[in-house]
Structure 1
Amino acid sequence: MKKRRSTIEWSLTKLSVLGFLFIISSCDLFEFRSTEEDDDDNPIVAEVNGSELRQSELKLVSTIGMNSSDSTAMINRYVQSWVRKQLMIREATKSMAFDEAEINRKLLDYKYTLMVYEFEKAFLEENLDESISNQEIEAYYKQNQENFSLKEIIVRCNFLKMDKSSNQNRNLERLLPRPEGSQSDAINEIALKYANNYFLEDSTWIRFEDIILNTPLADHPNKVGLIKSNSVINVEDDRYKYYFRILEYKLQDQIPPVEFVKEEISKILVNKKRVGLIEQFQKEIYNRALENNEFKIYE
């Protein structure tokens, strides 16, 4: 799973991106080259209604690791993008009036938001402990089981994919119906020596859809009825036989075992730590400023 961001991080990132996009598209508010720069050494690459794109700005376009052809194509795309943005800005200014004071206020808001975000990000990198104990995971699971209701079937199972011509198929059909743990060594040996593919992690819960992917069971119309009525399932296609031994299952809307949601809970708890740490950090800064009379609020 991808790392889940806190609400604070998401909000700040969103504002920062909006601010950055606004800044790079506002040629009337910012000038990216020095006014003292020699125009002869910095020729114009493109021009729209008096706004100029200079050669020096193209150096900001990253072409690291690209060959000459790809680098040229990247530069050309940048120039075309710049031209389109300037044309849109020209049309916008012709079609409607802008409150420059309001725009400048928003730009300052974006700037300060980005500064705070980077400051808090650096603080978290220095101070956030992302380790979560099994006890914390168990406690959270017990208190919030109803939040982990399954949206799909999950199983503990054994799976083997065998050639139809294998002389070990008969042995598997004899071994798989036996109780869990029985004949495990014999099944493992067959899997290692003869199977085209296999999954024998008895303690691991997985999505049923994942284990039956690319097998004839993927198109079965009643998967719930199938696993309810069969502890061992054998199916085949033109080349292979597929063997499934269902050790345990949980159906949609049931509560999964803690092992299945352990990683998800860990991410939730890290996120709670992150939010709590930032809130405490902000509170400490505020209280310190309050004690030192560093701000005033006028009624």
Structure 2
Amino acid sequence: MTNKYHYILFFACFFVLSCEYLSPASDSPQQTGTSEIVGQVGTSILTKSDIANLVGPNTSKTDSASITNRYVENWLKKELLVRKANENMRIDMADIEKKVADYRYALISYEYQKLMVEQRLDTVVSNQEIESYYNQNKDNFSLRQNIFRGRFIKVSQQAQKLNNVKRWIKSSRPNDLESLRSYAFQFADNYSLEDSTWIKFDDIIKNSPFSTISNKIQFLRTNQYVEEKDSLYLYLLKINEYKISEELSPLEFVTDDIRNIIINKRKIELVKRLENEIYEQAKENEDYQIFR
């Protein structure tokens, strides 16, 4: 049999034997060293030892077969693609080796930088730092959507105490808010009662009659409390405060974003500092030479 058809034979055999691929073979027809060959394309081979750790010890035989068959098939496709490329195009192996070396260096550098960042990066960002960054970069924090602070509840029209719910949702008394929270937890299909938190308006009204409003900006400007209903549910919306798209975002709404920006800047600075430290240390120890 020629090399052209080796991969077909071994792939077919592997499908038959895949459920027992971890068991030692007593009379393997194809061996390399002490490991049976399960796939071959030209001079490239895949052995049982190459796939021995693909699946965990508690994996069923069916799942093991599926995982290993898929791996072998992918291996064959890649090898066949490489062989076809070699047959149909001129490949600059020196250029390929350079790219492989560049990738290897980049990967090693990345893993080391990642380790150093995990060990040395300060991820604590004070409120003062966040506020300072916000004040210095306000042009970067225009809202991309309407946001609001308020309350929303969706409840069945057949639910009890609906008149109380309508009174509680408009009330500023702590006892009424506690009653509303307890009620919503038991009976509401959906609700948002954290009226000190800025929320995207579209997220709140999604899947409610309010979502069909054509002019949401005008709606926010002209309403403080609104009731809507469909065939099954009653929807209550209390608007305490709002901000319109393209206005300056409130600091509270972008606090997490600013924290991430500051940490990412620290990460970049840490990596640069690490590179300089390594370079200066090597320079001091005369660990490198430059030939001109």
Structure 2 residue 47 is matched with structure 1 residue 57: no
For 2:72 and 2:252, locate their aligned partners in 1 and report how far apart those are by CA, in whole Å. 52
Give the direction of change, closer, same or farther, for the CA distance of 1:278–1:83 in structure 2 (3 Å limit): same
Contact 1:160/1:191 (<8 A) preserved: no
Matched residue, 1:4 = none
1:198 offset after TM fit, Å? 2.4
Structure with bigger RCO (C-alpha 8 Å, 6+ apart) = 1
Among 249, 258, 269, which residue is 1:265 paired with?
Answer: 258
Q: What is the distance in 2 between the residues matched to 1:110 and 1:177? A: 61
Structure 2 CA distance for aligned equivalents of residues 252 and 277 of structure 1: 36
Q: What is the CA-CA distance between 1:149 and the residue it aligns to?
A: 1.1
Report how far residue 211 of structure 1 moved. Answer: 1.0
Residue deviations 1:192-212 (CA, integer Å, cap 9, x gap): 126413221121111111111
Q: 2:117 aligns with which of 106, 120, 124?
A: 124
The answer on 1:48 being equivalent to 2:41 is yes
Q: Tell me the TM-score normalized by structure 1.
A: 0.80
Q: Does 2:246 match 1:253?
A: yes
> 220-229 or 237-246, which moves further after superposition?
220-229
* Paired AA for residue 225 in structure 2: V
Indicate how the Cα distance of structure 1 residues 77 and 43 shifts in structure 2: closer, same or farther if over 3 A, else same. same
Cα offset for 1:177? 4.8
Query: 5+ residue gaps in structure 2?
Result: 1-30
- Asked if residue 85 in structure 1 is aligned to residue 78 in structure 2, the reply is yes
Tell me the residue number matched to 2:192.
199
* Amino acid across the alignment from 1:108: A
Structure-2 separation of matches of 1:294 and 1:77: 47
Misfit runs of 4+, over 4 Å: 174-178
Q: Specify the code of the residue in structure 2 equivalent to 1:114.
A: L
* CA positional deviation for 1:125: 1.4
**Aligned letter for 2:105?**
Y
Return closer, same or farther for 1:176/1:192 CA change in 2, 3 Å cut-off.
closer
CA distance in 1 between partners of 2:287 and 2:168 (Å): 77
Q: Does 1:138 align with 2:159?
A: no
User: What letter is aligned with 1:159?
Assistant: F
Q: 1:177·1:231 contact (CA, 8 Å) conserved in 2?
A: no
Pair member with larger Rg: 2
CA distance in 2 between partners of 1:68 and 1:212 (Å): 49
Q: 2:90 aligns with which of 77, 90, 97?
A: 97
Residue matched to 2:69: 76
- Secondary structure in structure 1 of the residue aligned to 2:163: helix
Residue number in structure 2 paired with 1:160: 153
What RMSD, in angstroms, separates the aligned Cα atoms of the two structures?
A: 2.0
Q: Given that residues 143 and 248 in structure 2 are in contact (C-alpha distance below 8 angstroms), is that contact kept between their aligned partners in structure 1?
A: yes
Instruction: Output the CA distance in 2 between the equivalents of 1:170 and 1:278.
Output: 60
Percent identity, aligned pairs only, is: 36
Residue aligned with 1:43, SS: strand
Tell me if structure 1 keeps the 8 A contact 2:169–2:180. Answer: no
Given that residues 149 and 240 in structure 2 are in contact (C-alpha distance below 8 angstroms), is that contact kept between their aligned partners in structure 1? yes
Question: Please, which runs of 5 or more residues in structure 1 have no aligned partner?
Answer: 1-37
Task: Label 1:292 to 1:62 Cα distance change in 2 as closer, same or farther (>3 A).
Answer: same
Alpha-carbon shift at residue 235 of structure 1 (Å): 0.8
Q: CA deviation at 1:295?
A: 2.5
